[in-house]
Amino acid sequence: MGFPNSVRIVEVGPRDGLQNEAAPVPLEAKVRFVNALSASGLRDIEVTSFVSPGAVPQLADAADVLGAIEVRPDTTYWCLVPNAQGLERWLETSGRLPAGSRGIALFTAASETFNQRNVRASIDESLRRFQEIMTVLQSMPAPERPRVRGYISTAFVCPYEGAVEPAAVQSIAVRLVDLGVQELSLGDTIGAATPIQIRALLRMLLTEGDVGDLALHLHDTRGTALANVLESLDLGVTAFDTSAGGLGGCPFAPGASGNLATEDLLYMLNGMGIETGVDLGAVVDASGVIEPFINHQLPSKELAAYRSAGF
């Protein structure tokens, strides 16, 4: 088994975490949260989402968030964009970011039913929307263009259709890469995958054809996320999406549970001597910034341990 020397963490708490939190969080708290995250050394932060405010009311202030955060030139500020209308809204505000700090995340799913419920479109239709977005981006001067990552949700298990075939994910992965997406993030959206499923999909993607850079987007609903990270590391994946505190696990929304907590991943990687450039104590501080604004305790195990034991 060979582990890498370093891992890249994509912090998605301000987007994936907050979109699942029921209590409306004030703009000022979101901005302080993002600033605290970037102060911790995180260099990839998904700050908000330009989806329909009707679909995700919590993130209706996307432009205000992107307009107010402190901008570090060495950090990429990712935003979720679902369609041409979302791209237009993003373009209105993203000009304040240095070109190298711009990132947009597109999202589709490996299961038709989930995609239909999430974005009211078939997988084909969502890829057609991405084509529209990519055409606009490709008309921009190259140095101005954002980086683009593509989420494939329900890449392992769908809450409506059950187990997802690796071949279904692979065919979408190839189409996304053909569209010009630079990094794919494979989503265990409902936190149901086990290492066997991780291995089956990664082996297929890593051995058959070029699917660009891969990241794993794990939720920790059933406590399998760190086991899945280990399996992924062993197979050569070195990028993971996490959220501070494991934000997003709302006890009032059945089935909705938080991302793998940034603190939990950091504790394990630190102990394994794998570098991330991220300060664990500073992420604990960032979780402390957002926790008073949600109506429950953050679920991260390491957050609780750090607060009581100091490491």
Q: What amino acid positions are annotated as catalytic residues?
A: 250
Query: Which range of residues in 80-88, 220-228, 241-249, 273-281 is near ligand COA by CB under 6 A?
Result: 80-88
Site track 133-172 with ligand COA (rule: CB under 6 A), x = hit: --------------------x-------------------
- Considering beta carbons, is residue 7 or 260 the nearer one to ligand COA? 260
Minimum distance of Zn ion from residue 139's CB (angstroms): 30
Q: Does 265 bind ligand COA (CB under 6 A)?
A: no
CB of 164 to Zn ion, least distance (A): 15
Query: What is the spatial distance between Cα 308 and Cα 100, in angstroms, rounded to a whole number?
Result: 39
Stretch of 98-106, 114-122, 218-226, 275-283 lying at the interface with ligand COA (CB under 6 A): 114-122
Residue 173's identity, in one-letter code, is A
Cα–Cα distance for residue pair 309/2, rounded to 1 Å: 31
Distance, in Å, from the CA atom of 211 to the CA atom of 46, rounded to the nearest integer, reads: 22
- Which range of residues in 78-86, 191-199, 211-219, 230-238 is near ligand COA by CB under 6 A? 78-86
Q: Which residue has the tokens 């993030």?
A: 185
Of the two residues 33 and 130, which places its CB atom closer to ligand COA in the complex?
A: 130
Instruction: In angstroms, give the least distance from the CB of 16 to Zn ion.
Output: 4
φ, ψ of residue 239 to 5 degrees: the values are -130, 135
For Zn ion, the binding residue among 10, 11, 16, 201 (CB under 5 A) is 16
49 binding partner (options ligand COA, Zn ion, none; Cβ < 5 to 8 Å by kind):
ligand COA
Q: How far apart are CA 32 and CA 243, in angstroms?
A: 15
Give the burial class of 223: count Cβ atoms within 10 A of its Cβ; 0-12 exposed, 13-18 middle, 19 or more buried. exposed
Q: By CB under 6 A, name the one of 66, 119, 123, 169 that touches ligand COA.
A: 119
* Collapsed DSSP state (helix, strand, coil) of residue 33: helix
Please report, as residue ranges, which positions from 27 to 56 form the binding site for ligand COA (by CB under 6 A).
49-56
Residues 6+ apart with CB under 8 A from 162: none
- Residue type present at position 304: A
Per CB under 5 A, does 188 bind Zn ion?
Answer: no
Written as six digits, the tokens of 45 are 């932060």
Residues at the interface with Zn ion (CB under 5 A): 16
